[in-house]
Chain A
Amino acid sequence: MVAKKQQDEFRIAFLAAQECASSVGTAQELGYVGGLLVTNHLGRPLEFQCTMPVRPNRIQTILYGDSLVPFLLGELIGSTLVERLAIKPHLILIEQPDLQTLQHQMDIPLGQLIEQKVAGESLMIGQTNILLQTAETHELKKQTQLVPAEADLREPFLRVREALGETIQSGAAA
């Protein structure tokens, strides 16, 4: 089928992570959760993976220092989610710069959403400017033309965040 074939041709994943507070005993602890949504080029969901809250302990916080959050989000949460995917995307998009460290952990191209286009460096997919973290962009640029010109690639991030909210809520209820 044509639709199926196109779906196989180009898949985009949307990765987002956020801080969450959870109660441990009587104390409130901060943690981080991440979610990864794979869609076809038209935005229809194919797979979703999310983590339970990850909390660094005191030693980890001291030893990682300023690099703790990029490490947690990119290398730990991001790479775990990518590894677990059954449907591999052709491009992973992020909004948060802290997730950029994920690029060192995988071969899938990573793109950062940016507000303003950067001449010669950014790529426009649908209505959204993307800064690619990889040098091999020629084939990818051809594939991204399957995405409709009117597509808003920020919208799927709203879905991921809402889904993370549901997950945290259900975790709290459990």
Chain B
Amino acid sequence: MSGETDCHIHESVPANRHGDDRLPELWHRKTNIESATRPETSEIDLRLSTSVFASGMNGALNRLPRVDTSSSDLLQKVQYVPSWKPYWPKVPCFGLTFPDGLDFLPEQPEAEQSDSTVEMRSIKPPVDEADNAFARQKKKQTRLKPPEDALSLEDRLFYVLQPPLESWLAGQELILPFEPFPYQYEGIAWLFAQKSALLADEMGLGKTMQTITAIRLLLRSGQVRKVLLICPKPLIPNWQRELKLWAQELPFLTIEGDSDRRRMQWSMPGVPLRIANYELLVRDMEAIYEEDRPAFDLVVLDEAQRIKNRDSRTAQTARDMTRKRSWTLTGTPIENRPEEMASLFEFMNVVPARGTPDLRQLSRLSDRYVLRRTKDLVMTDLPPRLDRDEHLDLAPAQKLAYQTAEKEGIIQLNEMGESISIQHVFELVLRLKQITNYDPLTGESAKLDRLKAEMEEIAASGGKAILFSQWTKSLDWLEERLRPFGPAIYHGGVPTKKREPILQQFEHDPDCHLLLMSYGTGAVGLNLQFAGYVFLFDRWWNPAVEDQAINRAHRIGQKNPVIVTKFISRGTIEERIDRVLQQKRELFQAVLGQGDNENVSLSMNASEIFGLFDLKTPTGKKTKPKPPKEATKRAA
């Protein structure tokens, strides 16, 4: 350590311990000592200079230390210091784009476009929030549901993401002339999602409208592009009219004309909807080579009971059509036997070819592929139908003619013994029924007299009535005698082109109070809800057909009660037929419930027809569920 230290010591012997530079001073002190007699003491300055380290180290050792370096291994390697930065892996996604639908809206004229690129639309004034919420709650929304057979996520999402039908149809995307009923919305949503469907709503509930709207939605959403609708020939004008009403923007083509024209119509591109009748379908498909036959996205069979016999050419031709979706429409899916539905299911591709499902299987298939609603269940607000049976006594000459014919007829039948057939009995029934309408010799008719009286009242009040008969001959006979009521006549003998104008005349001509129709031609598919009265001049064999006839008037749109008058001649075959049919109807209602009475066998069978005259069914004769074809044809 270096530094100055004040230190005074007495020393007798000088000692030089600090180097040569102190020698003169020491020498001088030594001389002084020697010159004195006594030893003198003196203070010696022992302060050390800074060059002397307190530790006594020699300053000569003042030199730079020598430093040597060498490397050596660390104990362990440097560890990675943990760090984190905000990194997220890519989010996996799933997506789908919706197919472009067909646009049918006509181009708006340029003049109607405003200068602005955006068409301005008026907005309704905002409503009170509470009212708004209430209205939102109140309005039911019908959503499309994925069909059970839609398994892929993409297929299911297609249905889930469609808007509710109410907003899709309520003036936003598609315009409807009238607001459909809630059950109709449900029917449309159900059809939209079905590849195989049997819409079996009771007559008058709007199968036509539901089908047209579902087709319209499928076309607009790009699900189908080519649709074929098959219906009985008399119903083509009805479909044309309904299409113009419910889907005015939808272009359609009716297959008609000569064979060359039809061939061209079948192959014409760009037609979204074709309408054809059953007869033309069979004829044309047989004439076209199999490989040239058109393929469709959807084939709809109206009055599908036409294919109930699976061996018929019509059924075979319908099944042979190449198609992706198969719909059938009928109010009477079973006219006589449940097995008739098997043929419809075969067309719908839900049972294998020639498959014969038992009742349990049919029931299961029905749950999945059949939608049926009855008026009792859904049309609680439809005006009532008032049925009244008019039991009339035959006019004197009529009565004589009737009794004579019956007596002779029964004698003849009895004389035939075992060779008697249902056709013989049936011919007698027809003859007697005709006499109950009017006596061919004298023209006397109790029914006509009553009808005239009723019609005078109806005409005076400006009402309109429809009359049904089994015979065109009876209708012609009536037309001559009911001239004051301006009758229009509509039956199988009227050319198809003239039929629609006849219906128009009946609706719009104030002097036309009566429409005379045959059961065969007028019972199905027509909308005559402006008529408030229905007369059944004679009775059909099957009450389901009678109901179909009555439902021309008693259907959606009818605002007043419909009065249905059934003429029954007292003490005649008509009373006996009525009794049998009524018993059957009551029996089936007891078994199946009030809501469904068309879905059963209501036709008279052979033993019941024999029983009308207390005759027994001959042994070994096969009973037939329906009257012989020739007889039925002649009757219609």
Closest CB in chain B relative to A155 CB, distance in Å? 7
Considering the complex, give the chain B residue whose CB is closest to the CB of A1: B103
Query: B160 to chain A: which residues have CB within 8 Å?
Result: 159, 162-163, 166
Are B93 and A166 in touch, CB under 8 angstroms? no
* Beta-carbon contact of A44 and B153 below 8 Å: no
- Residues of B within 8 Å of A152, CB to CB, are 136, 167
Question: For window 67-96 of chain B, which residues contact chain A by CB distance below 8 Å?
Answer: 84, 86, 88, 90-96
* Contact assessment for B167 and A146 in the assembled complex, using a CB-CB cutoff below 8 Å: no
With A142-B116, A145-B121, A155-B167 in contact, is A59–B84 under 8 Å at CB?
yes
Considering only CB atoms, which chain A residue lies closest to B170 in the complex?
A150
Interface flags, B450-490, vs A, CB<8A=1, else 0: 00000000000000000000000000000000000000000
User: A116 an interface residue at 8 Å Cβ cutoff?
Assistant: yes
Query: Is B161 in contact with chain A by the CB < 8 A criterion?
Result: yes
> CB within 8 A of B141: which of A60, A127, A151, A155?
A155
Whether B119 and A6, one on each chain, are in contact in the complex, defined by CB atoms closer than 8 angstroms, is: yes
Q: Annotate B115-133 by CB proximity to A: 1 below 8 A, 0 otherwise.
A: 0111111111011010010
Chain A residues with Cβ under 8 A from B157's Cβ?
Answer: 48, 163, 166-167
By a CB distance below 8 angstroms, the chain B residues around A50 are: 93-95
Which of A9, A84, A155, A160 gathers most chain B CB within 10 Å?
Answer: A155
Smallest CB–CB gap between B369 and chain A, Å? 23
The answer, among B96, B103, B121, B136, for a CB contact under 8 Å with A47, is: B96
A2 and B108 contacting across the interface, CB-CB below 8 Å: yes
- Asked if B97 contacts A52 (CB within 8 A), the reply is no
A149 adjacent to chain B (CB < 8 Å): yes
Question: What is the bound-complex CA distance between A46 and B105, given in angstroms?
Answer: 19
B171 in the interface (beta carbon within 8 A): yes
Q: How far apart are the CA atoms of A24 and B118 in the complex, in Å?
A: 51
- Does A20 sit at the interface, judged by CB under 8 A? no
Q: Which of A37-85 contact B (CB under 8 A)?
A: 37, 39, 42-52, 54, 59-60, 63, 76-77, 80-81, 84
Asked whether any CB of chain B lies closer than 8 Å to the CB of A23, the reply is: no
> In the complex, are the beta carbons of B161 and A163 less than 8 A apart?
yes
Contact partner, B93, options A43, A84, A162, A170, Cβ 8 Å: A84
A52 touches B108 (CB 8 A): no
Rounded to whole Å, the gap between the CB of A49 and the closest CB of chain B is: 4
* Known contacts A148-B171, A159-B160, A159-B161: A170-B117 contact under CB 8 Å: no
- For A118, list chain B residues within 8 Å (CB): none
A54 shortest CB reach to chain B, Å: 6
| B124 lies within 8 A of A150 (CB) | yes
Contact in complex: A42, B121 (CB < 8 Å): no
Provide the bound-state CA to CA distance between A50 and B95, in Å. Answer: 6
* Docked-complex contact B163 and A43, CB < 8 angstroms: yes
Chain B residues near A86 (CB-CB < 8 A): 97
A160: chain B residues at CB < 8 Å are 161
- Whether, in the assembled complex, B164 has its beta carbon less than 8 Å from a beta carbon of chain A, the answer is yes
A104 to B96 Cα, complex, angstroms: 26
Residues from chain A with a CB closer than 8 A to the CB of B117 are: 9
Given known contacts A143-B118, A162-B160, A170 and B153 CB-to-CB distance under 8 angstroms? yes
Q: How far is the CA of A33 from the CA of B168 in the complex (A)?
A: 28
A167/B94 contact (C-beta < 8 A), A63-B84, A152-B136 known: yes
Task: For residue B127, give the distance in angstroms from its CB to the closest CB of chain A.
Answer: 8
B83 to chain A, nearest CB (A): 11
Answer whether residue A3 sits at the interface, using C-beta atoms and an 8 A cutoff.
yes
B161 and A37 form a contact (CB under 8 A): yes
Partner of A52, one of B84, B93, B96, B163: B93
Whether B91 contacts A3 by the Cβ 8 Å rule is no
Tell me, rounded to whole Å, the shortest Cβ–Cβ distance linking B124 to chain A.
4
Specify the chain A residue showing the minimal Cβ separation from B151. A170
Interface flag for A87 (CB, 8 Å): yes
Cβ of B274 within 8 Å of any chain A Cβ, yes or no, is: no
User: How many A-B pairs fall under 8 Å by CB?
Assistant: 133
Contact of A116 among B86, B120, B129 (CB under 8 A): B129
Closest to B133 in A: A115
Question: Does A124 belong to the interface (CB within 8 Å)?
Answer: yes
Give B166 Cβ to nearest chain A Cβ, in Å: 10
Nearest CB in chain B: distance from A3 CB, A: 4
Q: What separation, in Å, do the CA atoms of A63 and B95 have in the docked complex? A: 31
B107 within 8 Å of A (CB atoms): yes
B91 proximity list for chain A (CB < 8 A) = 51-52, 54, 76-77, 80
Question: What is the chain B residue whose CB lies nearest that of A41?
Answer: B172
Instruction: Please name all residues of chain A whose beta carbon is closer than 8 Å to the beta carbon of B127 when the two chains form the complex.
Output: 127
Q: Which residues of A contact B259 (CB under 8 A)?
A: none
User: How far apart are the CA atoms of A40 and B406 in the complex, in Å?
Assistant: 74
Contacts of B105 in A (CB 8 A): 1-3
Q: Chain B residue with minimal CB distance to A39?
A: B163
B173 touches A76 (CB 8 A): no
Chain A hits for B129, CB < 8 A: 115-116
Which one, A10, A77, A159, contacts B163 given CB within 8 A? A159
Instruction: Report the Cα distance A82→B117, complex, angstroms.
Output: 26
Contact A151 B94, beta carbon cutoff 8 Å: no
Q: Do A44 and B168 have beta carbons less than 8 Å apart?
A: yes
Bound complex: CA A154 to CA B164 (Å): 12
Cβ-based interface call for A138 (8 A): no
Instruction: Give the residue name and chain of the B residue nearest to A127 (CB).
Output: B132
Which single residue of chain A is at the shortest CB-CB distance from B158?
A45
Cα-based distance from A43 to B103 in the complex (angstroms):
16
Q: Is B576 at the interface (CB under 8 A from chain A)?
A: no
User: A161 to nearest B CB, angstroms?
Assistant: 10
Q: How far is the CA of A149 from the CA of B132 in the complex (A)?
A: 12
* CA–CA, A10 and B171, complex, Å: 18
- Residue B167 contacts which of A4, A43, A49, A116 (CB distance < 8 angstroms)? A43
Question: A48 near B96 (CB under 8 angstroms)?
Answer: yes
When A80-B91, A81-B93 are in contact, do A45 and B161 touch as well, CB less than 8 Å?
A: yes
CB of B385 within 8 Å of the partner chain? no
Quick check: B161 and A48 within 8 Å, CB to CB?
Answer: yes
Please name all residues of chain A whose beta carbon is closer than 8 Å to the beta carbon of B312 when the two chains form the complex: none
Indicate whether B626 reaches chain A with its CB closer than 8 angstroms. Answer: no
Interface residues of B (CB under 8 A from A): 84, 86, 88, 90-98, 101, 103, 105-108, 116-124, 126-127, 129, 132, 136, 141, 153, 156-157, 160-164, 167-168, 170-173, 221
Known: A2-B105, A2-B106. 20 other contacts (CB 8 A): A2-B108, A3-B105, A9-B117, A44-B221, A45-B161, A52-B93, A84-B93, A117-B126, A127-B127, A146-B119, A148-B121, A148-B172, A149-B124, A150-B171, A151-B167, A162-B160, A163-B157, A163-B161, A166-B153, A170-B153
Show 18 A/B contacts (Cβ-Cβ < 8 Å), sorted by A: A1-B105, A2-B103, A44-B101, A44-B168, A44-B221, A48-B95, A51-B91, A54-B91, A77-B91, A81-B93, A84-B95, A145-B123, A148-B172, A151-B172, A156-B163, A159-B161, A163-B161, A166-B157
Which 4 A-B pairs have CB atoms at the shortest separation, nearest pair first?
A49-B95, A149-B124, A1-B103, A52-B92
